[in-house]
Structure 1
Amino acid sequence: MGLTDNMRGALWMALSMTSFVVNDTFMRLASDAVPFYQAIFLRGLMISIGLAAIAWSRGHLRYRPAQRDWGLIGLRTLAEVIGTLLFLTALLHMAFANLSAILQALPLTVSLGAALVFREPLGWRRLTAILVGFVGVLLIVQPGTEAFNLYAVLGVATVLVVTVRDLSARRLSRDVPSGIVALAAALGGTAMGAIGVAATGEWAALAPVSWIFLGLAALCLMAGYTASVSAMRSGEIGFVAPFRYTSLLVALVIGLAVFDEWPNTLALTGAVLVVGTGLFTLYRERELTRRTTLGLRIR
């Protein structure tokens, strides 16, 4: 029996999330021998070349977005660059799975942001779920305890910046090729890495293993981008989106197996709250879409 569109979309989403986490793993492994901004620049350069080739082969480079869309692409790219800087800084200084758990709050912040910025409906059930999810984030970050540090705050800041990125993408015209958007983000990251290298003057000759780590990170990130687009174009979003939480499971396994890290009980409890409320929020959004289509009202 062949795969349904929903099953295919779920597999693409799981592959996408796994690819992103494996990319993070290779970037952290490379950080032992590669200066911070040099790693960002080289990975960005590799990704830019790969995405440019894909965009050219698909004819995306001939597309000319409207001025409004260029503005949104610019805003999204800026948010992507800042988010990358914050995320990688946090990644190098805090537990792998803890940071991944904080990022699972993204569906909650996007829902809240869409309600505040775009006046999208947000009933009391989803608002309650979002508030509970934020309590989960506090349990992961654990302010006032020995487990708390500045880098956990950077993880939370990453979520806020990426929320801006995703909200700006929501307003892009449907005919804007995803390849153009991804390439703009890659070029922005490469430019940020180049500026960082110029400002710090840090550049090192790389051993073969460092090149391998950076090359695999770039391949994984490209695979993640591609699989993410395929996931959103296969099956129902309400069915596919919850599989984004695959990333937390993969991060827990890699954190333990590669970095010998495991979240404490409070952080695990917080992760469960964040994932649970995120799943509920996605479910309610799916119901909202379905009932709106039927001309009904949901709260």
Structure 2
Amino acid sequence: MNPLRGIALKVLSVMVFTTMAICIKLAAGRIPPGEAVFFRSFFAIPVILVWLAWTRNLAHGLETRNPMGHLWRGLVGTTAMGLGFTALGLLPLPEATALGYAAPLLTVIFAAMFLGEQVRVFRLTAVMVGLVGVMIVLAPRLTLTSFDATSKLQTIGAMAALLGAVFAALAQVFVRKLVQTEATAAIVFYFSATATMLSLATLPFGWILPDAREAALLMSAGFLGGIGQILLTESYRHAETGVIAPFEYVSMVLSLLFGYTIFREVPTLPMLLGATLIVAAGLFIIWRERQLGLRRSLARKVMTPQG
């Protein structure tokens, strides 16, 4: 274990994923979300295959015992990606990022509902606080005082971001089941392959031929998505989840910075307040999970007979 290396890889993966989101947002003016999903997924596959070959895991890394599990994860994950890309095109970057943080909060609830995981009062309270933050971010987009086209589109974007977070949380529930029998490489590869195939179903809804700039942005998003996934996977090899998970929220700082410098997006007070509550709730849940993990580890050591 090398915690500093794990943290560095995690932060680097967050930077790469944020850059990927910027590429998608820059191309979102004309490119439909389904087409963006195709490019993001298809051009990630070569990166993943090269990584598997480099790590000499290509022969056995794609073996699977649960093909239907990959299919279901692909369905909900692709839906989440499409909704997230829709939100990126319609909302300021920091706002879309903040609403996306609802996913880990909802994962706690869905894991209790579908996997039977225990959710005690501390985590449940944190989830409620985080969801209050989500509503604070959403509130300005749900008012009926403005009926101009821009406001309507931003309302659609906000709802897409929230619904995307719901599907992202469901995808994480499927991943939690898949990791019991599947290698990480298989989970990553089959998701990209499934998303590529499913995105083709949106062809009748208005794909366009991208120009050179748009094509470069979309292909870059795919390559960056594959690289980011590899960096994220490698980060968990060098440090425990509880150590590196909080660094996911570096993306909020990056989104505020790039949203202002690239897109001239000035964050509003409700967005900042809501994002603060969401991040605080997420950090508390991560801290609580780490504490519980340490207690379980200590209990196992106590119960293990000493030779």
Instruction: Please list the CA deviations of residues 267-287 of structure 1 after superposition, one character each: whole Å capped at 9, or x if unmatched.
Output: 110000000011011101111
Which residue among 245, 263, 278 is the counterpart of 2:282? 278
Which residue among 157, 161, 173 is the counterpart of 2:163? 157
- State how 1:8-47 maps to structure 2 within 5 Å: 8-47=5-44
Distance 1:267 1:72, change over 3 A: same
Question: Contact 2:49 / 2:58 at 8 angstroms: preserved in 1?
Answer: no
Where structure 2 has 5 or more consecutive residues not aligned to the other structure, the ranges are: 301-307
Q: Counterparts of 1:107 and 1:37 in 2: how far apart (Å)? A: 24
Q: Counterparts of 1:195 and 1:115 in 2: how far apart (Å)? A: 33
Residue 64 of structure 2 corresponds to which residue in structure 1? Answer: 65
Q: How far apart are 1:189 and its partner, in Å? A: 2.1
Q: How far apart are 1:185 and its partner, in Å? A: 1.4
- State the TM-score, normalized to the length of structure 2: 0.87
Q: Counterparts of 1:190 and 1:216 in 2: how far apart (Å)? A: 16
Question: Contact 1:60 / 1:177 at 8 angstroms: preserved in 2?
Answer: no
Where structure 1 has 5 or more consecutive residues not aligned to the other structure, the ranges are: none
- State how 1:191-206 maps to structure 2 within 5 Å: 191-197=197-203, 199-200=204-205, 202-204=207-209, 206=211
Residue 187 of structure 1 corresponds to which residue in structure 2? Answer: 193
Distance 1:205 1:94, change over 3 A: closer
3-state SS of paired residue (1:29):
helix
Question: Contact 1:107 / 1:282 at 8 angstroms: preserved in 2?
Answer: no
Residue 305 of structure 2 corresponds to which residue in structure 1? Answer: none
Residue 249 (structure 1) aligned with residue 247 (structure 2): no
Question: Contact 2:178 / 2:187 at 8 angstroms: preserved in 1?
Answer: no
Residue 123 (structure 1) aligned with residue 120 (structure 2): yes
Query: How many corresponding residue pairs?
Result: 289
Letter in 2 for 1:27: I
Residue 304 of structure 2 corresponds to which residue in structure 1? Answer: none
- State how 1:166-245 maps to structure 2 within 5 Å: 166-174=172-180, 176-197=182-203, 199-200=204-205, 202-204=207-209, 206-207=211-212, 209-245=213-249
Residue 293 (structure 1) aligned with residue 290 (structure 2): no
Residue 269 (structure 1) aligned with residue 269 (structure 2): no
Residue 6 of structure 1 corresponds to which residue in structure 2? Answer: 3
**What percentage of residue pairs aligned between the two structures are identical?**
25
Q: How far apart are 1:203 and its partner, in Å? A: 2.8
Q: Counterparts of 1:263 and 1:251 in 2: how far apart (Å)? A: 10
Q: Counterparts of 1:59 and 1:210 in 2: how far apart (Å)? A: 34
Distance 1:200 1:113, change over 3 A: closer
